[in-house]
Structure 1
Amino acid sequence: MSLRIVVAVKYVPDATGDRHFAGDLTTDRDAVDGLLSELDEYAVEQALQIAEASGDAEVTVVTVGPEDARDAVRKALSMGADKGVHVEDEGLHGTDVMGTSLVLARVIERVGFDLVVTGMASTDGTAGVVPALLAERLGVPQVTLLSQVSVADGRVTGRRDGDAASEELVADLPAVVSVTDQSGEARYPSFKGIMAAKKKPVESLDLADLGVDAGGVGLAGAWTVVREASARPARSAGTIVKDEGEGGKQLAEFLAAQKFI
């Protein structure tokens, strides 16, 4: 039986754009272009490398989001993934990590999996907790923040790099892993890959298909909400210290006042 790899990805606002909140204090996704989260590209890359090393594997890409989120799936398919699943439902507007992990878990169970691969965090919310939530909901081990990952003999092995040491972690399949931006550069889609992606299947699902109660997701079911937000204040002119013999002292006093020293 072939290795079933599922990659959870997210469609996020372009970090180089002018991102801000909408009137209901959710991210205004219509005001800025979106794209496949850069950190999720590393997850797709590692999934493809594992599939290539296996020689008998299928890579399914899953995302939850509005209509345009399908573009994130297509990007992953153009990189080499085999098929995609896109969950779109108006009831998902404002969903936080708890609701997102619930929906993703339902999709992954529906698709079937041996290994789930994610990025270390999304580039918009940056919570970094969805991999752990997925593992809990699926009832499988989690091996997170890996800079190197491989699969052999029914187990996943990875290396987690810390400030002072590196750890080797091992878990039996099925399992959930997350990879960092140090795991290896993601490949660029080739023209052939882009054309082939247009013919690869992308299944569309909604909450009803997954048996998810709309009251448990969206703004109504969110465990975290934004109550208030204000624009970042304009940058003010800096303080200029003229060295007329006392420059060092003035600089030290300024740094101390700002609690830098």
Structure 2
Amino acid sequence: MSIPALPMNSGFDIPQLGYGVFKVPPAATERAVTEALSVGYRHIDTAAIYGNEEGVGAAIGASGIPRDELFITTKLWNDRHEGDEPRAAIGESLEKLGLDRVDLYLVHWPTPAKDNYVHAWEALIGLRDAGLARTIGVSNFLVPHLERIVAETGVTPAVDQIELHPRYQQREVVAWAHEHGVLIEAWGPLGQGKYDLAGIPAIDEAASAHGKSPAQVVLRWHLQKGNIVFPKSVRVERLRENLDVFDFELSSREVAAIDDLDPGDGSGRVSAHPDEVN
């Protein structure tokens, strides 16, 4: 089984399916990441605010997997945007991860009320140039935030990691990203369990047709849309199931039926609005 990789505007590739450790308890993270690596994951997504970078680092260090076969992402938290804080923050993350660089470093939220995300983005450009992050991007940025950082720095993010699942597809952000060569990473790709995928006919019918689970169908939908996904699980059988999505393809009709699940009024959002996180 080979996980596809997508080219980023930085010149590096990113595995399209990875393992996310959001809400994985710090005490369980080393075991969870070790199991993920053992079943074939090579892309691990963490963040400073998750409190589990040390567990990720311990699993990486014990894995014996060559560094160039791994893709590690972490993120700059909201209270580290000012002054020299971004450099201090990535230094702390690298120490916890046991790495000399990350493959992708993201501004976690734009925090627009603080009006310091342009400075944070400028700082990430410097961290990239210093070799501490091979590629840089953003998370939870909407079109106005994206347009502003590009206009003020001339540097376009490689990725924007946003809430994206069948009930909430963020078409405006996705369209902007596609137009500007930015890849979309979907967090909460299965809706964070806040609605029943199996109870949706478009998903259930595709699952029956292909002999797959509803979650596998939704992950396959993401992959065919060009999204990068990293579903979270702490159960090894689910880790394997989430990887088993490369031996079938949804028809254009099945993809369109899932596309139609977004009501289009924002009501499908399961987390905070980026303008409200500061």
* TM-score computed with the length of structure 1 as normaliser: 0.29
Please identify which structure carries the higher strand content.
1
RCO comparison, higher one (Cα < 8 Å, 6+): 1
* TM-score computed with the length of structure 2 as normaliser: 0.28
Larger gyration radius, structure 1 or structure 2: 1
Please identify which structure carries the higher helix content.
2
